Structure formats: structure tokens, C-alpha cells
């Protein structure tokens, strides 16, 4: 059996972290709360799930394209505009549909993340590309931040 390199160990560790963050997110959305409650000025909890799903699918699409030898076509536009789009394009999906889409995207990411031929993954047009390790860390941190914000918002509504 081939010995794992430090890079492979780091990627495996980061995939584990991302998987944990996704599991915590799914668990949050299986509590039967009112997910229409506003968490940010313009977004409720379901909007945040749609936003995370949109970006996770973008990550999956870009890494899949790279893994299949297709030039990736990352999202373009100002981050604020893309974030509005992330909510607008997922608004009509149910929470269960969004969770299923997240799981599918995660499977795609896991299918391609260990390919050594992928050295840099685009995030957004006009933004720098990220290494596999960095991209996993950024996505995990992004999910964690939103999940923490949602937990705080819901904690303040309890008596």
C-alpha cells in the first residue's frame, strides 16, 4: 500500500472537517424549527441553506470540470451580486431538496478532490484560484460561520 503524502493527509483531514460541518448543518435543519425566521437583515435560515448549497454546487462543478479535463466556468460578478443570485436561484427549493443537492455536490467533491492533476480550483471569475486544501478550508469555515450565526439567532428566540 502506498504511503500517504503530507498533502494527501491534509486533504483527507480537510474533507473530514467539511463532512462534519455539513453533518452539523443538516442536523440543524432537521430540528423542525421555523426556518423562515430572519437571521440576517435580508436572509432567513432557509435562504442561508440555499446560499451554501449554491456555492457547494459551484465548487463541485468546478472540480468536476477540472477532473474531467473540461475548462471550468466559475460564477462571475461582484460577490454581493452572486450572493443575491445564490438565494434567488434556490428560493423555490424545499429544505429537503437543498440538503439532497448539498449531499450530491459533496459526493462530487469527494470524487475529484484527491486527484493530483488538480492543483488549483477556481472560486469566482476575477478571484484567485485556491489549492485543494485551501478550498476545503474556506468552504468549511464558510459553513461554520453561517451555522454559528443561525444557532445564535435561534438561541435568542428561546425563552
For 83-117, write each residue's pLDDT tens digit.
999 999 999 999 999 999 999 999 999 999 999 99
Domain ranges of the chain: 25-155
For the chain, first and last CA: distance in Å? 56
Mean pLDDT of the chain: 94
In the prediction, which pLDDT does 159 show? Answer: 45
- In terms of DSSP H, where are the helices of the chain? 6-28, 45-67, 79-88, 95-112, 132-155
Integer CA distances (angstroms), 126 to 36, 51, 79, 147, in order: 33, 20, 10, 27
Q: What is the pLDDT of residues 34-74, one digit of tens each?
A: 999 999 999 999 999 999 999 999 999 999 999 999 999 99
Cβ contact 61:75 at 8 Å? no
Reported pTM: 0.94
pLDDT digits (tens, 9 = 90+) for 112-133: 999 999 999 998 998 999 999 9
Residues 11 and 141: their CA atoms lie apart, in Å, by 15
Domain 25-155 class in CATH = mainly alpha
- Rounded to the nearest angstrom, the gap between the alpha carbon of residue 3 and the centroid of all alpha carbons in its chain is 30
Amino acid at each position: 500500500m502506498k504511503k500517504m503524502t503530507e498533502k494527501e493527509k491534509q486533504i483527507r483531514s480537510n474533507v473530514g472537517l467539511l463532512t462534519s460541518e455539513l453533518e452539523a448543518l443538516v442536523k440543524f435543519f432537521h430540528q423542525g424549527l421555523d426556518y423562515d425566521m430572519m437571521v440576517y437583515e435580508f436572509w432567513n435560515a432557509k435562504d442561508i441553506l440555499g446560499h451554501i448549497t449554491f456555492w457547494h454546487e459551484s465548487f463541485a462543478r468546478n472540480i468536476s470540470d477540472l477532473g474531467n479535463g473540461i475548462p471550468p466556468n466559475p460564477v462571475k460578478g461582484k460577490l454581493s451580486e452572486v450572493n443575491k443570485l445564490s438565494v434567488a436561484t434556490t428560493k423555490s427549493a424545499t429544505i429537503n431538496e437543498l440538503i439532497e443537492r448539498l449531499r450530491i455536490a459533496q459526493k462530487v467533491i469527494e470524487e475529484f478532490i484527491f486527484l493530483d492533476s488538480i492543483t488549483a480550483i477556481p472560486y469566482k471569475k476575477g478571484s484567485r484560484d485556491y489549492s485543494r486544501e485551501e478550498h476545503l478550508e474556506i468552504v468549511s469555515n464558510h459553513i461554520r460561520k453561517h451555522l454559528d450565526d443561525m444557532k445564535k439567532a435561534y438561541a435568542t428566540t428561546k425563552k
